[in-house]
Structure 1
Amino acid sequence: MQGTRIAFGPFVLDPDIGTLLKEQIPIAVGHRGLTLLAALTARPGEILTKAELMDAAWPGTAVEEGNLTVQIATLRKALGPADNGGEWIATVPRVGYRFTGIVEPAASASRRPMPPSGKPSIAVLPFANLSGDQDQQYLSDGITEDIITELARFRSLLVIARNSSFQFRHPALDIAEVHRKLGVRYLVEGSIRKLGDRIRITTQLIDAATGTHLWAQRYDRALDDIFALQDEVAALIASMVEGQAEADSASRTRRKPPADWDAYDYYLQGRAHFYRYELDESEPLFVRCVELDSTFAQGHAFLAQALVGRFWYDNDPRTLQKAWDSARTALALDRSDGVCHQSMGLVLTHMRQHSDAGVHFERARSLNPLDVNIAGDYASWLNYGGRAETALDVLETALLRDPLPPTWFWEVKGSSLFLLGRYSEAVGSYQKAGDHFFIHAFLAASYAHLGETEKARAEVEKALARKHGLTVRLISGLPFADQVALELFMSGFRKAGFPA
Structure 2
Amino acid sequence: MRYLFEEYAFDTDRRELYRGAGVVSIAPQVFDLLEYLIRNRERVVSKDDLINAVWKGRIVSDAALTTRLNAVRAAIGDTGEDQRLIKTLPRKGFRFVGPVQELQVPPGEAAADELVEPSQFPPVLPDKPSIAVLPFVNLSSDPEQDYFADGVVEDITMALSRFPWLFVIARNSSFTYKSRAVDVKQIGRELGVRYVLEGSVRKAGNRIRLAGQLIDAETGTHLWAERFEGPIEDMFDLQDDVTSGVVGAIAPKLQHEEIKRARRKPTESLDAYDYYLRGLAKARWSKNANSEALQLFYKAIDLDPHLACAYGMAAWCYTRRKALGWMNNQARESAESIRLARIAVHLGADDPIALCMGGYALAFVAHEFDDAAAFMDRALVVNPNLARAWMLSGWLRVWRGEPDRALEHCARAMRLSPLDPSMYYTTHGAMAYAHFLASRYDIASSCAETAMRDNPTFLLSICISAASNALAGRFEQAQKTVLRALECNPDLHASNLRDLAPFRRAEDFAIFAKALRDAGLPD
Q: TM-score, normalised by structure 2?
A: 0.49
CA distance in 1: counterparts of 2:166 and 2:403, whole angstroms? 28
CA distance in 2: counterparts of 1:153 and 1:384, whole angstroms? 40
Q: Counterpart of 1:416?
A: 434
Aligned letter for 2:355?
H
CA distance in 2: counterparts of 1:184 and 1:352, whole angstroms? 47
> 1:296 pairs with 296, 299, 307, which one?
307
CA distance in 2: counterparts of 1:443 and 1:186, whole angstroms? 40
SS in 2 for 1:188: strand
Q: Counterpart of 2:44?
A: none
Q: Counterpart of 2:514?
A: 491
SS in 1 for 2:215: strand
Q: Counterpart of 1:283?
A: 294
Q: Counterpart of 1:466?
A: 488
Q: CA deviation at 1:184?
A: 8.6
Runs of 5+ consecutive residues of structure 2 not aligned to the other structure: 1-143, 157-161, 172-198, 201-207, 230-242, 247-261, 263-268
CA distance in 2: counterparts of 1:485 and 1:153, whole angstroms? 48
Aligned letter for 1:442?
I
CA distance in 2: counterparts of 1:310 and 1:291, whole angstroms? 22
Q: Counterpart of 1:274?
A: 283
1:338 and 2:352 matched: yes
Q: Is the 8 A contact 2:390 2:412 kept in 1?
A: no
Render the CA deviation track for 1:335-371: whole Å, top value 9, x for unaligned.
2111211123112212111111111111111111121
Q: Counterpart of 1:230?
A: none
CA distance in 2: counterparts of 1:380 and 1:390, whole angstroms? 10
CA distance in 1: counterparts of 2:419 and 2:375, whole angstroms? 26
Paired residues for 1:90-489 under 5 Å: 113=145, 116=148, 120=152, 185-191=210-216, 208=227, 261-275=270-284, 278-312=289-323, 313-314=325-326, 316-350=330-364, 351-405=366-420, 406=423, 407-433=425-451, 434=455, 435-477=457-499, 478-489=501-512
SS in 2 for 1:421: coil
CA distance in 1: counterparts of 2:352 and 2:170, whole angstroms? 11
Aligned letter for 2:363?
T
Q: CA deviation at 1:437?
A: 3.0
Q: CA deviation at 1:285?
A: 1.9
Aligned letter for 1:393?
E
SS in 2 for 1:432: helix
Q: Counterpart of 1:233?
A: none
Render the CA deviation track for 1:400-446: whole Å, top value 9, x for unaligned.
22223413222111111211122222222223332133332221111
Q: 1:281 to 1:205 in 2, by over 3 A?
A: closer
Q: Is the 8 A contact 2:429 2:460 kept in 1?
A: no
Q: Is the 8 A contact 2:435 2:441 kept in 1?
A: yes
CA distance in 2: counterparts of 1:423 and 1:114, whole angstroms? 49
SS in 1 for 2:283: helix
Q: 1:282 to 1:343 in 2, by over 3 A?
A: same
SS in 1 for 2:350: coil
Q: Is the 8 A contact 2:276 2:296 kept in 1?
A: yes
CA distance in 2: counterparts of 1:353 and 1:147, whole angstroms? 26
Q: CA deviation at 1:204?
A: 8.3
Q: Is the 8 A contact 1:123 1:188 kept in 2?
A: no
Q: CA deviation at 1:303?
A: 0.9
CA distance in 1: counterparts of 2:223 and 2:465, whole angstroms? 44
Q: Counterpart of 2:94?
A: none
CA distance in 2: counterparts of 1:121 and 1:466, whole angstroms? 47
CA distance in 1: counterparts of 2:147 and 2:306, whole angstroms? 43
Q: Is the 8 A contact 1:386 1:484 kept in 2?
A: no
CA distance in 2: counterparts of 1:403 and 1:359, whole angstroms? 26
Render the CA deviation track for 1:372-407: whole Å, top value 9, x for unaligned.
111111111111111111111121133222223413
Render the CA deviation track for 1:14-51: whole Å, top value 9, x for unaligned.
xxxxxxxxxxxxxxxxxxxxxxxxxxxxxxxxxxxxxx
Q: CA deviation at 1:449?
A: 1.1
Q: 1:495 to 1:265 in 2, by over 3 A?
A: same
CA distance in 2: counterparts of 1:184 and 1:297, whole angstroms? 40
Aligned letter for 2:470?
A
Q: Counterpart of 2:34?
A: none
Runs of 5+ consecutive residues of structure 1 not aligned to the other structure: 1-111, 125-144, 155-174, 177-182, 194-199, 211-237, 242-257
Q: 1:452 to 1:151 in 2, by over 3 A?
A: farther
CA distance in 1: counterparts of 2:492 and 2:224, whole angstroms? 51
Max Rg structure:
2
SS in 1 for 2:213: strand
CA distance in 1: counterparts of 2:170 and 2:379, whole angstroms? 13
CA distance in 1: counterparts of 2:226 and 2:406, whole angstroms? 35
Q: 1:415 to 1:452 in 2, by over 3 A?
A: same
Q: CA deviation at 1:454?
A: 1.5
Q: State the aligned residue count.
A: 292
Aligned letter for 1:331?
V
Q: Is the 8 A contact 1:114 1:120 kept in 2?
A: no
Q: Is the 8 A contact 1:120 1:185 kept in 2?
A: no
CA distance in 2: counterparts of 1:264 and 1:358, whole angstroms? 27
CA distance in 2: counterparts of 1:394 and 1:184, whole angstroms? 28
Q: CA deviation at 1:290?
A: 1.8
Q: 1:384 to 1:118 in 2, by over 3 A?
A: farther
Render the CA deviation track for 1:205-249: whole Å, top value 9, x for unaligned.
978469xxxxxxxxxxxxxxxxxxxxxxxxxxx9xx9xxxxxxxx
Moved more, 374-383 or 281-290: 281-290
SS in 1 for 2:343: helix
CA distance in 1: counterparts of 2:369 and 2:438, whole angstroms? 21
Aligned letter for 2:474?
E
Aligned letter for 1:320?
S
